[in-house]
Amino acid sequence: MLDIHNEMTDHKDMRDLTIIGGGPTGIFAAVQCGMNNISCRIIESMSQLGGQLAALYPEKHIYDVAGFPEVPAISLVESLWKQAERYQPDIVLGETVARYRKLDDGTFETETNTGAIYRSRALLIAAGLGAFEPRTLPQLGDISHMVGSSVFYAVKSVNDFRDRNVVIVGGGDSALDWTVGLLNTARSVTLVHRGHEFQGHGKTAHEVLDAREEGKLAVHLDTEVRSIDVDGNALKRLHLRSRSGSETSVDAERLLILIGFKSNLGPLAGWDLELCENALVVDTHMKTSVDGLYAAGDIAWYPGKLKIIQTGLSEATMAVRHSLSYIKPGEKIRTVFSSVRMSKENKTS
């Protein structure tokens, strides 16, 4: 896990760019700041960098990031930070940006929930989907007291499921990934999906169905969890009902609910920025409707947007690059190739 602490800097210190959000997009934006010789600070609301990858899916494997045939989410975050830390960006953890103000001279003040004010010449919002919370199964009532012991909305450690009877609810990528991923860890795996078909990646869906044919797991399509049997905080059994009305029960010690998240822009929604599909509209330079304020990653929207990690990393590069014209007006911006820059750095070190 990343061992990063808040930097003890003067709140009034000016930085070239304030990056709101410390997920993969925000971290890579800090890399690009270093490559382009501008200073930056990252403000992250959680107690660690990495965004959803670190907080919700640290052991999930990712297969569609260039250069990594397969990489655990937390390892990707650690690799991104290794790239960024050589440039020593300021890091502010555990603070949520509440509001911003653009001053008469074109610079920005960013205020967090603690009352701290951070100054910069430009802003980059890389806040992912904003604040998020998992979608629940309301028919089960209040099961909050079981979360983290018998009920889970993410896999932070596979050991939570080792040698247990596990029921996974969902039909998207996360549900399919962990159905396959826990086969060699759990005592048994049962997948319950209310739809007739999976929404996840076709290759993983085939792996799930093949495993079912081989008797390695049970799959219930067109089916919902209707109720549970518990003993205190311990889960014992789940009662299922299919769309046709038939009912069945399965032993369960762990319930893993992976049916998505509800996103909330939080304070960003009141920033008077142009929105579309609950995201910030940007132009081809990743600029929002406010000069000097940029967005990248899942929080950014434009026609044809594809919300994957690779896209966010590319957008971070473009946002930082195009912000240079705002941060350094009138200065000729030269393209800096990483191989040339690193060669010069190595010679001087």
Residues 6+ apart with CB under 8 A from 142: none
Which residue range forms the structural domain that includes residue 34?
A: 14-132+262-348
Could you list the beta-strand ranges (E) of 21-69.
Answer: 40-44, 61-62
Residue 180, in any domain of the structure: yes
Would you say residue 255 lies in a domain? yes
Q: What is the band of 58 on the pLDDT scale with cuts at 50, 70, 90?
A: confident
Domain boundary among 259, 285, 316: 259
Q: Does residue 4 have a pLDDT over 70?
A: no
Choose one of 230, 259, 288: the last residue of a domain.
259
How far apart CA 303 and CA 293 sit, in angstroms, is: 19
- Provide the terminal-to-terminal Cα distance of the chain, rounded to the nearest Å: 28
CB proximity list for 275: less than 8 A, separation 6 or greater: 265, 269, 281, 301
- Using the predicted structure, report yes or no on whether residue 10 has a pLDDT greater than 60: no
Q: How many residues does the chain have?
A: 349
Here the CATH number for the domain that contains residue 219 is: 3.50.50.60
**Can you tell me the distance from the alpha carbon of 21 to that of 27, in angstroms, rounded to the nearest whole number?**
8
Residue 9, domain member (yes or no): no
* DSSP assignment of 131-167: EEEE---GGG---GGGBTTTEESS-S-GGGGTTSEEE
| 199 and 100 part of one domain | no
Above 50 in pLDDT, residue 1?
no
Is 313 found in the same domain as 297? yes
Question: CA–CA separation, 249 vs 259, rounded Å?
Answer: 21
Q: How many domains would you assign to the chain?
A: 2
The values of phi and psi at residue 14, to 5°, are -80, 135
What is the per-residue pLDDT for 8? Answer: 47
- pLDDT bracket for residue 156 (50, 70, 90): confident
Same domain, 279 and 241: no
CB 229 within 8 A of CB 144: no
The Cα 219–Cα 226 span in angstroms is 16
Cα angle: 3, vertex 16, 19; to 5 degrees = 45
**How much is the average pLDDT of 291-296?**
97
* In a domain? residue 6: no
Residues 197 and 99 both lie in one domain: no
Q: What angle do CA 158, 70, 19 make, to 5 degrees?
A: 85
Residue 341 pLDDT level (bands cut at 50, 70, 90): low
Summary mean pLDDT of the chain: 89
Tell me what pLDDT residue 306 has. 93
Across 309-328, average pLDDT: 96
| pTM of the predicted structure, to 2 decimals | 0.70
- Dihedral sign computed on CA atoms, order 132, 137, 142, 146: negative
Contact 292, 17 (CB under 8 A): no
> CA nearest 172: which of 60, 58, 260?
260
Distance, CA of 104 to CA of 117 (rounded, Å): 17
Tell me: the pLDDT tens digits for 222-244?
Answer: 999 999 999 988 999 999 999 99
Q: From start to end of 78-212, where are the E strands?
A: 90-93, 97-102, 108-112, 117-125, 131-134, 151-152, 165-169, 188-192
Q: What is the mean pLDDT of residues 161-186?
A: 94
Same-domain status, 193 and 178: yes
Does 97 share its domain with 163? no
Residue 93's DSSP bridge partners are 44
Q: Which two tokens stand for residue 308?
A: 């994957």
Of the residues 241, 259, 277, the one at which a domain ends = 259
Strands 188-192 and 218-220, sheet pairing: parallel
Lowest mean pLDDT among 22-26, 94-98, 158-162, 211-215: 94-98
Q: What is the pLDDT of residues 253-288, one digit of tens each?
A: 999 999 987 766 778 878 889 999 889 999 999 999
The whole-number pLDDT of residue 292 equals: 97
Q: How far is CA 236 from CA 119, 148, 202, in A?
A: 54, 15, 32
Q: Which helix (H) or strand (E) segment is 71 a member of?
A: strand 71-72
Question: Under 8 Å CB-to-CB from 269, ≥6 apart: which residues?
Answer: 275
Mean pLDDT, rounded, for 39-65: 84
